[in-house]
Amino acid sequence: MKSVDLTIRLEWAFVAAAAVVFYGSTGMSWWLFGLLILAPDLSMLGYLAGPRVGALAYNALHILIVPVPLLIAGYMSGNATAIAVALIWVAHIAIDRALGYGLKLSTGFQDTHLGRIGR
């Protein structure tokens, strides 16, 4: 693994850790965290309709464009549930990136913006 790849993975691991720490400060139950941490991966069901639809579905739930505004809205309104859900979502995305899973290309699940997954 190249040092840049390692640096990027380490960076995302720190984002994941921060999201988990901040989640702990919300006072929400850890069972909610456990229940929702893998929820974005349900988007993989889109691959049943083919690689193009699968990539669109997967990427829609694995980008920060929705959870970050949700986090901000939750913070601004004092909505602890919105904050918690957003932090779980951010943690999921960050864990994926730390493990080397990137946004999917329409050519197949293994093809990501970070490179090919697997062998």
Which H or E run contains 104? strand 104-105
State what percent of residues in the chain have pLDDT above 70. 97
Helix (H, G, I), strand (E, B) or coil at 16: helix
Residue 119 has pLDDT above 70, yes or no: no
**For the chain, what is the mean pLDDT?**
93
- Do residues 4 and 11 touch, judged by C-beta distance below 8 A? no
Tokens of residue 52, six digits: 């193009």
- List pLDDT tens digits, range 42-70: 999 999 999 999 999 999 999 999 999 99
Q: Residue 33 pLDDT > 90, yes or no?
A: yes
CA 26 to each of CA 53, 111, 116: distance values in angstroms, whole numbers, following the listed order: 35, 36, 36
How many angstroms separate the CA atoms of 70 and 76, rounded?
A: 10
0.95 exceeded by pTM? no
